[in-house]
């Protein structure tokens, strides 16, 4: 008789322990219930106070002070549109989570020379990687306080959605669907790119029509895939796509001659051609642009403060280049330059950083420790690098480019 | 009666010699015209396939790609200055294996000696003095273990040995991972630095060790009298066995963060381990269930007659017999698990195959596809083949099918 | 000495509630179910919560949206304006195609090598053993990658394609074989085929009726099949122009015109799956044949049966009983292993569902659907196997 009790309880206990080990902790209360009862005004005072207090531990019991800006908007839109926008009130905790953790989790590519590349010794270098470091400097004042996470094309959105990373700097194209349906906010475009096609130099292909009946290598799950389908259908060129899971397989197949051409963002084509393929001169990027590809950082929906931080860190680099401030002369400019805009940018007057929840000299730190946009560009994609791409549209608006920072005021 | 001599025909010639090589060939290869045809076809096939392969293997292949990247292939991106920790795990393994040899096996000295000799030769051939030193220490610790086991004997060291094996695997994980917050010698090496054969072995070992008891529990649950437990076990087993491993790994790596409260993350390697373990447990459960079904009812009845409780019946009578019957199938399942760890490349982990592919993505080595893939195939094949040989020996040693 | 009955202790009908086995059983199961339900509900709640935070609602209607991407190989018409549901169907059909052909080839190869493994010829036996032992001990993914990267992509470029008799073109764009194309008289020929089918059915019925009358069993299947083939051939010859034309492949510009082109991904996947599974099937067949006791074969020989008939009438039926269950599980493994095509780029179910997942952002729904599809295929096959097993199992005392 006792043997059966023992058996039952033993099995129940073990399985129960296993289940509870796999199961999650109880959720911190239902989200819609956290209605905003705080007064709508005075967001600055509240967010300013959040900074030094260590109360928000792990984001579990955060007060809804940070999303004062968020909820009024949500309520307004829900009154106007027929479909109620879900109230994502309690997710405005990214900054406090990041500060508690002590590092920023930054999602990058890891396999794209010039943008984000992991070398065998474990160091990340590249354009996107430098912007991650700039963000770390803005929040912590230290460019080493960032943990990079190499992501594949498959998982890049999921890891951002689930909170595994705080921001995605992964040469990702801004599109409506990603902005709305997937639940992301896109920061300012840091690289204006276009989709191109690369063919072997000796193939004699110069126009899209020459690719009729051919095979084109493309990577799975990208806007590249969709744009290619659209353009080929519009031009009436029939082709066969060869779709691969990851970057290495795609370009490997192209290099072996499996496809007549490979298509991707022109920046990626050029960095792969120069950095990865065995004979860079044997390949030519056609002078065709299939689509606009504005590449920039992404954050999740529902946290306007974090979104603002990412945005204004990027704008700080644009503005620094606009005013001619570099990492070399930033100390000098801080002491000598009397331009009010520059003084506000560098935090000498105006307390702009505090409005974002950062220190007032965040831009000063970013410029001095990472550099302005031109320096970041030159370091990774400039003329002296193997992954050189001419700046083109990635210049200031004063130089026929599209980089334009709103005023620091 | 004086019999007449029965006239016989010409005496038949004596039977052909089968002892010599020619005799053997005549019997096995050329006994009939069909047999001869088969032999010629087989020889032709072998010549056609083997000759170019051997020529390529020894003359044309550029093996320097393997030499240059050997460390990457073996341990991935594990920090070079911390490699001594990996060696430490190997030394402990050698010592424990030696101890097992000395206490339980006490035989097969030729095989053991051959292995040690190979290690010594490798030590002599190694160019890196650190590697040479470690290989010699490896040989030394194995010999030390054997000596200790021989001297100690079963009675004295049996329990210690079991304890050592049980403690070894968590200890390995601890050593490889390190202690967070520690600096210098035992600092944390996060799991995204584990790679190559090291990661393959870690995944395999954790998979085997955790899925084995889980599989037994599931098998018992499936045969349980209580309908709730039986149905849940059956549902789990059928569900897991019906889907490919790659989808389970993919689900584990993308959906596990969704199931956890926000902010809580699990290591990517841990997710892969969980996926592999859950998968393997279902298959093990089926194999163990087959073994349980082969136990005659008389055993249960005899145990009951002796007054043993359900738990004791299981652990002392039924499970030892059932497990002994299904050992070859279980080891086959473990070999499959070892091979299936190669699937973690699809979720972005850099195990042996993953590191191989990323080496091939390097422009320097992009034309050495065959060499790297052949080397990786060779490593997988040798370990799997060794394990299957071991299972055959284990079968004969335990007398499966004979008593 | 007699013990008065009324001095025995009160007879307890049952143990107290907290020790009663029946109550404990039920209580234990209820507790287990509650724990399990709590764990599952907790997990799902977390998931829905996390999804709600993103403004995502789990729903399956997105399958009716336009997909926007092209798929390289599709058995049914598909283009970028088709829906996600159609893309999923394309992937499913590709999986079934590869699995079906793979099962066929693997079975043939497996039976061949399994029988070779038991040959009396030493060399043949060892070659088969080497084949089986090699393939069983390597991972399928490594084999697939080796075949794709090391064999099929290494074939020459299209302009310098190898031409085999056929004509068959071998290049790194695939294997182009001659294909059958409907000729001018194809419509008429279809009617001819229907007629041939009716004739074969008639032959079958006639032979069965004759068998019942005479008591002997003629080979109904063989004769009706022959009748069908004869009628089809007669119809072919009688028609003025051939109904089906063999169209040879030819290189034209960047592509191959005519014939059927099997892409390198398809060829690598098919070859890899077939030879890998054939090694396991060979082992299963060998074990099955060896399981038939020697006495059966000796008895058959003593009855004077020739070797072919022994194999067909005595060994195979008994071996089949042992072979079929593991054989079916190998077939299931092949079908599930086809999902490894994601590593070499063949658009089968898992690969296409990965694209759908990426382009639509619906992680949970797509994963559930693709796992559910694989599960359905497995369960249906297992059910069929169990039914077959029930029919042929040995009825024991």
What does the H/E/C string look like for B243-302? CCHHHHHHHHHHHHHHHCCCCCCCCHHHHHHHHHHHHHHHHHHHHHHHHHHCCCHHHHHH
Show residues of chain A in contact with C344, CB under 8 Å: 249
| CB contact (8 A) between residue A1 and residue C32 | no
Flag whether residue B22 sits within 8 Å of chain C, measured between CB atoms.
Answer: no
Q: Which chain A residues touch B74 with a CB distance below 8 Å?
A: none
pLDDT tens track for B18-38 = 567 777 777 777 777 888 888
3-class SS at C247? strand
Residue B148 falls inside a structural domain:
yes
Q: Residue B362 domain-assigned?
A: yes
Nearest CA in chain B to A94: B263
pTM recorded for the entire structure: 0.81
**Closest residue, chain C, to B388 (C-alpha):** C137
Question: What are the chain C neighbours of B47 within 8 Å (beta carbons)?
Answer: none
Q: Which residues of B touch A153 (CB under 8 A)?
A: none
pLDDT per residue rounded down to tens, chain B (403 residues): 555 666 667 777 777 665 677 777 777 777 778 888 888 898 999 999 999 899 988 888 888 888 888 888 888 888 888 888 888 888 998 888 888 888 877 777 787 888 888 888 888 877 788 888 888 888 888 888 888 888 887 787 878 888 888 888 888 888 888 876 666 677 788 787 888 999 999 999 999 999 999 999 999 999 888 888 999 999 999 999 999 999 999 988 888 877 877 667 788 899 999 999 999 999 999 999 988 988 899 999 999 999 998 889 999 999 988 888 888 888 889 999 999 999 999 888 889 998 888 888 777 787 888 899 999 999 999 999 988 888 887 777 776 655 5
- Using the Cβ of A27 and the Cβ atoms of chain B, whether some distance falls under 8 Å is answered with yes
Q: Bridge partners of A262? A: A198, A217
Q: Is B191 within 8 Å of B267 (Cβ atoms)? A: yes
B42: nearest CB among C46, C124, C138: C124
Cβ distance of B38 and C124 shorter than 8 Å: yes
Instruction: Calculate how close chain A gets to C147, using CA atoms only, in Å.
Output: 13
**One domain for residues B281 and B396:** yes
Write out the two tokens for C213: 């009358």
Q: Give how far A350 is from chain B: nearest CA, Å.
A: 34
Instruction: Find the domain containing B234 and state its range.
Output: 199-403
Q: Which of C172, C254, C268 to mutate to test the interface with A (most CBs of A within 10 A)?
A: C254
Instruction: Please tell me which residue of chain A has the smallest CA distance to C345.
Output: A244
Q: Cβ contact (<8 Å) for B345 and C336?
A: no
The position carrying tokens 């030390």 is B144
Contact B339 C150 (CB under 8 A): no
Calpha distance B245→B219 (Å, rounded): 20
> CB–CB of A243/A173 below 8 Å?
no
Which residues on chain C are in Cβ contact (under 8 Å) with A157? 358, 361
Residue B67 lies in a domain: no
Are residues B332 and B232 part of one domain?
A: yes
Residue B349 with chain C: CB contacts under 8 Å: none
Would you call C371 and B251 a contact, using CB atoms and an 8 Å cutoff?
yes
Could you tell me the two tokens for A347? 């935090």
Fold of C84-155+265-393: MetI-like fold (1.10.3720)
pLDDT the model gives residue B29? 74
The predicted-structure confidence for C97-139, as pLDDT tens digits, reads as follows 999 999 999 999 999 999 899 888 888 999 999 999 999 999 9
The verdict on a CB contact (< 8 Å) between A159 and B224 is no
Q: Is C187 exposed, middle or buried (0-12, 13-18, 19+ CB in 10 A)?
A: exposed
Q: Do residues B204 and B181 both lie within one domain? A: no
- B274 token code pair: 């969980």
B380:C137 CB<8 A: yes
Burial class (CB in 10 A: 0-12, 13-18, 19+), A335: exposed
Q: Whose CA is closest to B362, among A272, C184, C351?
A: A272
C54 close contact with A: CB closer than 8 A: yes
Asked if the C-beta of C28 comes within 8 angstroms of chain A's C-beta atoms, the answer is: yes
Query: Can you name the residues that pair with C175 across neighbouring β-strands?
Result: C170, C262
A268 to A133, A219, A246: CA distances (angstroms):
21, 12, 13
Chain B contact for A57, CB < 8 A? no
Q: How far apart are CA B87 and CA B72, in angstroms?
A: 15
* Residue partners of A391: CB distance under 8 A and separation at least 6: A377, A401
Residues of chain A with Cβ-Cβ distance to C42 below 8 Å are 23-24, 26
Q: Are residues B183 and B206 in the same domain?
A: no
The chains in contact with chain B, meaning 3 or more Cβ pairs closer than 8 Å, are: A, C
Given this chain, do its domains A93-191+296-399 and A195-291 carry the same CATH topology? yes
| Residues contacting residue C383 through CB under 8 Å, at least 6 positions apart | none
Of the candidates B228, B331, B254, B245, which has an alpha carbon nearest to the alpha carbon of residue B282? B245
Do the chains contact at C32 and A302, CB–CB below 8 Å?
no
Binary contact (C367, B250; C-beta < 8 A):
yes
Query: What is residue A108's predicted lDDT score, i.e. its pLDDT?
Result: 92
A partners (3+ CB pairs within 8 A) are B, C
- The number of folded domains in chain B is 3
Q: Which residues of C touch A222 (CB under 8 A)?
A: 358
For the purposes of burial, counting CB atoms within 10 Å of the CB of C256, is it exposed (0-12), middle (13-18) or buried (19 or more)? buried
Q: How many Å lie between the alpha carbon of A88 and the closest alpha carbon of chain C?
A: 5
Inter-chain residue contact B384 with C137, CB threshold 8 Å: yes
Q: Give me the count of residues in chain A.
A: 409
How many contacts, defined by CB atoms under 8 Å, are there between B and C? 145
* Nearest residue, CB atoms, A220 vs list C154, C358, C360: C358
Residue from A79, A50, A77, A44 nearest A63 by CA: A50
Q: Which residues of A touch C343 (CB under 8 A)?
A: 245, 249
Burial C110-146 (b: 16+ CB within 10 A, else e): bbebbbbbebebbbbbebbeebbeebbbbbbbbbbbb
> Does one domain contain both B121 and B224?
no
The pLDDT assigned to C278 comes to 96
B166 and B212 in a single domain? The answer is no
Contact C42 A26 (CB under 8 A): yes
Q: What's the CATH class of domain A93-191+296-399?
A: alpha beta
Is A255:A278 a contact under the CB 8 Å cutoff?
A: yes
- What is the interface size between A and C, counted as CB pairs within 8 Å? 170
- The nearest CA of chain A is from the CA of B254 a distance in Å of 7
C101 to chain A, minimum CA–CA distance in Å?
22
Please check whether residue C141 touches A, CB under 8 A. no
Interchain proximity C21–A1, CB inside 8 Å: yes
Parallel, antiparallel, or unpaired: how do β-strands A261-265 and A215-219 relate? parallel
Residue A314 region, left (φ>0) first, then alpha (ψ -120 to 50), else beta? alpha
Residue B367 sits in a domain whose CATH number is 1.10.3720.10
Give the best residue of B38, B203, B356 to mutate against chain C (max C CB count within 10 A).
Answer: B38
Q: Kindly give the pairing relationship between strand A167-173 and strand A292-300.
A: antiparallel
Number of Cβ atoms within 10 Å of the Cβ of C50: 23
8 Å CB contact of B358 and A91: no
If asked whether residues B281 and B174 sit together in one domain, one would say: no
Q: Residue B194 falls within a domain, yes or no?
A: no
Homologous superfamily of A195-291: Periplasmic binding protein-like II (3.40.190.10)
| DSSP 8-state code for residue A26 | P
How many CB atoms lie under 10 A from the CB of residue B76? Answer: 24
Nearest by CB to B247, which of C134, C143, C374?
C374
Best of C23, C31, C35, C176 to mutate (most A CBs within 10 Å, chain A): C35
Domain boundaries, chain A: 93-191+296-399, 195-291
Q: A296 — phi, psi (to 5°)?
A: -160, 180
* C14 interfacial to chain A (CB closer than 8 Å): no
Q: What one-character DSSP code corresponds to residue A295?
A: E
- The answer to whether A157 contacts C45, with C-beta atoms less than 8 Å apart, is no
- pLDDT for C34: 92
In the numeric block, which tokens belong to residue A162? 């689930």
Residues B385 and B240 placed together within one structural domain of the fold: yes
What is the distance in angstroms between the Cα of C336 and the nearest Cα belonging to chain A?
A: 19
C255: confidence class by pLDDT, cuts 50, 70, 90:
confident
**Pairwise CB contact (< 8 Å): A230 & C80:** yes
Alpha-carbon separation of residue A49 from A41, A93, A277, C44 (angstroms):
15, 14, 53, 36
| pLDDT of res. A70 | 37
Angle at B234 between CA B254 and CA B300, to 5 degrees: 140
In this structure, are residues C323 and C284 in contact, taking their beta carbons and an 8 Å threshold? yes
Residue in C36, C145, C367 nearest the CB of B373: C145
Q: Could you tell me if residue B84 is inside a domain? A: yes
Q: What are the C-alpha distances in Å from A87 to residues A34, A176, B370, C106, C274?
A: 9, 21, 56, 56, 53
Residues of C in contact with B39 (CB under 8 A): 121, 123-124
pLDDT tens-digit profile, chain A (409 residues): 444 444 555 465 555 444 433 433 333 333 333 333 333 333 333 333 333 333 333 333 333 333 333 333 333 333 333 333 333 333 568 898 899 888 999 999 887 888 988 776 678 889 999 999 999 999 999 999 998 888 888 788 888 887 788 999 998 999 998 888 788 999 999 999 999 999 998 888 888 888 888 899 998 888 888 899 999 999 999 898 998 888 888 888 888 888 899 999 888 888 888 777 878 888 999 888 889 999 999 998 888 899 999 999 999 999 999 999 999 999 988 888 888 989 999 988 888 888 888 998 899 999 999 999 999 999 999 888 888 888 888 999 999 999 999 998 8
Residues B180 and B261 in one domain: no
CA–CA dist C157, C103 (Å, integer):
30
> CB-based contact (8 Å) between B384 and chain C?
yes
How many angstroms away from the CA of A375 is the closest CA of chain C? 34
In A, which residues are within 8 Å of C363 by CB distance?
158, 161
């Amino acid at each position: 008789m006792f043997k059966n009790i023992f058996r039952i309880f033993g099995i129940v206990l073990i399985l129960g322990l296993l289940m509870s080990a796999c199961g999650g902790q109880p959720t911190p209360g239902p989200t819609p219930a956290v209605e905003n009862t705080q007064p709508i005004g005075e967001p600055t005072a509240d967010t300013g106070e959040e900074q030094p207090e260590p109360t928000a531990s792990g984001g579990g019991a955060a007060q809804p002070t940070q999303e004062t800006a968020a909820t009024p908007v949500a309520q307004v839109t829900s009154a106007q549109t027929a479909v109620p926008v879900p109230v994502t009130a309690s997710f405005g905790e990214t900054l406090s989570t990041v500060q508690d953790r002590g590092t920023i989790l930054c999602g990058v590519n890891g396999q794209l020379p010039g943008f984000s590349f992991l070398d065998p010794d474990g160091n990340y270098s590249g354009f996107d990687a430098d912007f991650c470091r700039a963000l770390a400097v803005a929040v912590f004042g230290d460019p080493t306080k960032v943990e990079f996470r190499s992501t594949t094309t498959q998982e890049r959105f999921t890891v951002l959605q689930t909170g595994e990373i705080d921001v995605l700097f992964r040469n990702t194209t801004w599109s409506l669907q990603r902005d709305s349906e997937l639940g992301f906010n896109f920061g300012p475009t840091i690289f204006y790119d276009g989709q191109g096609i690369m063919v072997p130099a000796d193939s004699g292909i110069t126009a899209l029509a020459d690719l009729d009946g051919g095979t084109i290598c493309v990577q799975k799950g990208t806007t590249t895939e969709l744009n290619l389908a659209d353009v080929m259908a519009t031009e009436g060129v029939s082709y066969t796509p060869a779709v691969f899971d990851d970057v290495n397989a795609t370009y490997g197949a192209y290099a072996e001659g499996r496809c007549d051409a490979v298509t991707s963002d022109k920046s990626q084509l050029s960095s792969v051609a120069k950095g990865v393929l065995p004979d860079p001169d044997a390949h030519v990027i056609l002078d065709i642009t299939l689509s606009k590809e504005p590449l920039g950082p992404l954050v999740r929906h529902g946290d306007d403060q974090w979104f603002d931080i990412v945005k204004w860190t990027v704008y700080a680099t644009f503005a620094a280049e606009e005013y001619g401030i570099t990492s070399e002369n930033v100390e000098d400019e801080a002491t000598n330059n009397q331009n009010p805009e520059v003084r506000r940018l560098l935090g000498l007057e105006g307390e702009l950083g505090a409005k974002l929840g950062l220190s007032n000299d965040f831009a000063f730190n970013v410029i001095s420790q990472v550099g302005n946009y031109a320096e970041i560009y030159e370091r990774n994609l400039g003329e002296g690098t193997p992954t050189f791409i001419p700046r083109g549209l990635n210049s200031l608006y004063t130089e026929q480019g599209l980089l334009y920072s709103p005023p620091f005021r | 009666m004086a019999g007449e001599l029965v006239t016989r025909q010409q005496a038949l010639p004596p039977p052909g010699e089968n002892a010599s090589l020619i005799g053997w060939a005549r019997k096995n290869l050329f006994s009939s015209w069909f047999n001869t045809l088969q032999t010629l076809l087989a020889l032709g096939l072998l010549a056609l396939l083997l000759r170019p392969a051997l020529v390529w293997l020894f003359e044309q292949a550029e093996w320097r790609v393997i030499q240059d990247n050997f460390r990457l292939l073996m341990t991935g991106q594990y920090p070079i200055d911390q490699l001594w920790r990996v060696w430490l795990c190997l030394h402990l393994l050698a010592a424990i294996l030696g101890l097992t040899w000395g206490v339980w096996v006490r035989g097969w000295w030729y095989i053991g000696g051959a292995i040690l000799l190979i290690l010594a030769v490798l030590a002599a051939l190694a160019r890196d003095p650190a590697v040479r030193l470690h290989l010699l220490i490896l040989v030394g610790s194995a010999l030390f273990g054997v000596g200790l086991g021989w001297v100690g004997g079963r009675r004295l060291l049996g329990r210690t040995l079991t304890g050592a094996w049980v403690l070894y695997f968590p200890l390995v994980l601890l050593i490889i991972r390190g202690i967070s917050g520690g600096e210098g010698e035992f600092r944390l090496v996060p799991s995204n630095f584990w790679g190559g054969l090291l990661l393959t072995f870690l995944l395999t070992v954790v998979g085997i060790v955790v899925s084995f008891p889980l599989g037994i529990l599931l098998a018992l649950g499936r045969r349980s009298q209580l309908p709730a437990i039986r149905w849940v076990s059956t549902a789990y087993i059928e569900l897991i066995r019906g889907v490919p491993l790659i989808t389970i790994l993919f689900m584990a790596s993308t959906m596990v963060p969704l199931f956890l409260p926000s902010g809580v993350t699990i290591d990517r390697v841990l997710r892969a381990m969980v996926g592999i373990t859950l998968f393997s447990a279902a298959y093990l459960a089926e194999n163990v269930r087959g073994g349980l079904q082969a136990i005659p009812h008389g055993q249960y009845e005899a145990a009951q007659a002796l007054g043993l409780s359900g738990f004791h019946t299981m652990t002392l009578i039924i499970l030892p017999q059932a497990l002994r019957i299904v050992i070859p199938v279980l080891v086959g399942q473990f070999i499959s698990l070892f091979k299936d760890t190669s699937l973690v490349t699809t979720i972005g982990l850099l195990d042996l195959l993953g590191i191989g592919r990323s080496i091939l993505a390097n422009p320097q080595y992009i034309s050495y596809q065959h060499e790297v893939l052949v080397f990786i195939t060779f490593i997988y094949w040798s370990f799997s083949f060794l394990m299957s040989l071991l299972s055959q020996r284990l079968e004969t040693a335990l007398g499966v099918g004979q008593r | 000495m007699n013990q008065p009955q009324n001095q025995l202790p009160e007879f307890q009908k049952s143990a107290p509630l907290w020790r009663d086995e029946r109550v404990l059983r039920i209580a234990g199961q209820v507790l287990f179910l509650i724990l399990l339900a709590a764990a599952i509900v907790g997990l799902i709640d977390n998931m829905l919560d996390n999804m709600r935070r993103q403004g995502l609602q789990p729903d399956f209607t997105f399958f009716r949206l336009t997909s926007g991407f092209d798929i390289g190989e599709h058995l049914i018409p598909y283009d970028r304006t088709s829906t996600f549901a159609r893309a999923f169907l394309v992937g499913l059909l590709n999986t079934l195609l590869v699995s079906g052909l793979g099962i066929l080839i693997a079975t043939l190869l497996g039976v061949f090598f399994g029988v070779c493994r038991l040959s009396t010829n030493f060399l043949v036996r060892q070659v088969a053993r080497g084949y089986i032992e090699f393939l069983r001990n390597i991972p399928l993914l490594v084999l697939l990658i080796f075949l794709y990267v090391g064999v099929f992509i290494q074939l020459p470029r299209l302009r310098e394609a190898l031409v085999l008799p056929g004509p068959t073109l071998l290049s790194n764009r695939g294997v182009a074989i001659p294909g059958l194309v409907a000729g001018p008289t194809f419509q008429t020929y279809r009617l001819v085929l229907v007629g041939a089918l009716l004739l074969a059915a008639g032959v079958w019925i006639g032979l069965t009726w004759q068998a019942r009358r005479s008591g002997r069993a003629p080979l109904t299947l063989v004769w009706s099949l022959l009748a069908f083939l004869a009628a089809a051939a007669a119809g072919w010859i009688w028609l003025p122009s051939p109904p089906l034309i063999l169209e040879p492949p030819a290189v034209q510009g960047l592509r191959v015109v005519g014939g059927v082109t099997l892409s390198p991904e398809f060829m690598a996947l098919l070859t890899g799956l077939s030879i890998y599974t054939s090694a396991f099937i060979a082992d299963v067949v060998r074990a099955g044949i060896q399981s038939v006791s020697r006495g059966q074969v000796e008895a058959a020989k003593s009855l004077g049966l020739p070797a072919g008939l022994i194999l067909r009438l005595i060994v195979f039926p008994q071996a089949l009983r042992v072979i079929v269950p593991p054989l079916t599980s190998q077939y299931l493994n092949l079908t599930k292993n086809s999902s490894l095509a994601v590593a070499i780029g063949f658009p089968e179910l898992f690969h296409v569902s990965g694209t759908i997942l990426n382009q639509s952002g619906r992680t949970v729904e797509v994963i559930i659907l693709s796992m559910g599809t694989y599960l359905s295929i497995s369960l249906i096959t297992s059910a069929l196997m169990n039914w077959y097993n029930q029919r042929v199992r040995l009825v024991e005392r």
